[in-house]
């Protein structure tokens, strides 16, 4: 005979539900991938591949927007997502922070602005990333790129805005910053040619191919566009005169 057990007044502890590294959601604008930034790049890639693999024909050709929760995208994860997008014939149009459930502020409506108006546009809290068509693999980022953010891309990177101290930009191609480069930048990864161009070049560290230069290597006055590239066994930083040397132009 089984003895009855008395019910306890104290609620039993429910084990926490493990959060998936990535989930897929469909909306009116296409496919949305929500990524948990606390997960490893391997876990995120595995979760995305598993979901896409359930119906690859259904997802093929979709426009994708990546939403990142709980921090910046882990280093190396962007390149993994690029590879997955190519494998499943997807187009990554945008990467940004996910809105939390308690963030119920209304979406701002566009307002007309007269020519010459000094009204400022609302600031962008997270970098907006757009993929350009073509074989160059150029990625355009509308910044600023804030401290703690790591951008990693297999092609060229063009940034409209500042790269703040503590941010890192890595590219197998070239890096162009239409703003102040004050963080770390590494161009030409795995290659023997590459360059970094910025409207104001005051980095914490520059890496081009296998060469490294730290802050203070440039003695040009701040505020003018500068070009950094490898020549021999050193990184040359010089004023940008509106055109690239022939050897650098061939790297685009």
pLDDT digits (tens, 9 = 90+) for 39-57: 999 999 999 998 888 878 8
**Does 78 or 109 have the greater pLDDT score?**
78
Q: Pick 89 or 95 by higher pLDDT.
A: 89
pLDDT > 70 in the chain, percent: 73
116-120, 177-181, 229-233: lowest mean pLDDT where?
A: 116-120
Sorted by sequence, the CB contacts under 8 Å of residue 181 that are 6+ apart come out as 162, 163, 196, 198, 200, 201, 202, 203
Q: 64, 91 in Cβ contact below 8 A?
A: yes
Q: Which residue has the higher pLDDT, 222 or 22?
A: 22
Residue 37 has pLDDT above 60, yes or no: yes
Closest CA to 207 of 221, 222, 219, 191: 191
Q: Residue 201 pLDDT > 90, yes or no?
A: yes
pLDDT value of position 17: 52
CA distances from 39 to 16, 119, 187 (A): 16, 40, 26
More confident residue, 199 or 28: 199
Q: Which two structure tokens, joined as six digits, stand for 218? A: 């440039």
Q: What is the pTM of this model?
A: 0.52
DSSP 154-168: SS-EEEES-B-TT-E
Average pLDDT over the chain, rounded to whole? 77
The predicted model gives 92-105 an average pLDDT of 61
What is the pLDDT at residue 1? 44
All residues at 6 or more sequence positions from 168 whose CB lies less than 8 Å from its CB, including other chains: 75, 149, 150, 151, 183, 184, 185, 186
Helix (H) or strand (E) holding 52: helix 41-53
Report for 14-28, 96-110, 225-239: range of highest mean pLDDT: 225-239
Round to whole Å and give the CA distance between 56 and 49. Answer: 9
Domains of the chain: 19-99 (3.30.750), 124-252 (2.160.20.70)
């Amino acid at each position: 005979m089984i003895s009855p057990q008395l019910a306890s007044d104290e609620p039993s502890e429910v084990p926490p539900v493990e959060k998936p590294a990535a989930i897929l959601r469909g909306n009116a604008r296409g496919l949305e991938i929500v990524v948990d930034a606390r997960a490893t790049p391997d876990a995120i890639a595995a979760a995305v591949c598993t979901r896409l693999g359930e119906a690859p024909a259904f997802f093929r050709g979709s426009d994708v927007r990546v939403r990142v929760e709980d921090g910046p995208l882990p280093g190396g994860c962007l390149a993994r997502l690029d590879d997955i997008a190519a494998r499943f014939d997807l187009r990554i149009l945008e990467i940004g922070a996910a809105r939390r459930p308690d963030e119920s502020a209304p979406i701002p409506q566009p307002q007309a602005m007269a020519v010459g108006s000094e009204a400022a546009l609302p600031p962008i809290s997270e970098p907006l990333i757009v993929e350009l068509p073509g074989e160059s693999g150029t990625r355009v980022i509308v910044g600023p790129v804030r401290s703690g953010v790591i951008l990693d891309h297999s092609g060229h990177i063009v940034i409209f805005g500042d790269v703040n101290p503590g941010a890192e930009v890595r590219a197998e191609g070239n890096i162009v910053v239409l703003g102040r480069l004050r963080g770390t930048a590494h161009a030409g990864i795995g290659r023997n040619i590459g360059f970094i161009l910025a409207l104001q070049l005051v980095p914490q560290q520059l890496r081009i191919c296998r060469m490294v230069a730290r802050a203070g290597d440039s003695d040009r006055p701040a505020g003018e566009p500068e070009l950094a590239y490898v020549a021999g066994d050193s990184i040359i930083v010089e004023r940008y005169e509106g055109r690239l040397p022939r050897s650098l132009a061939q790297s685009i």
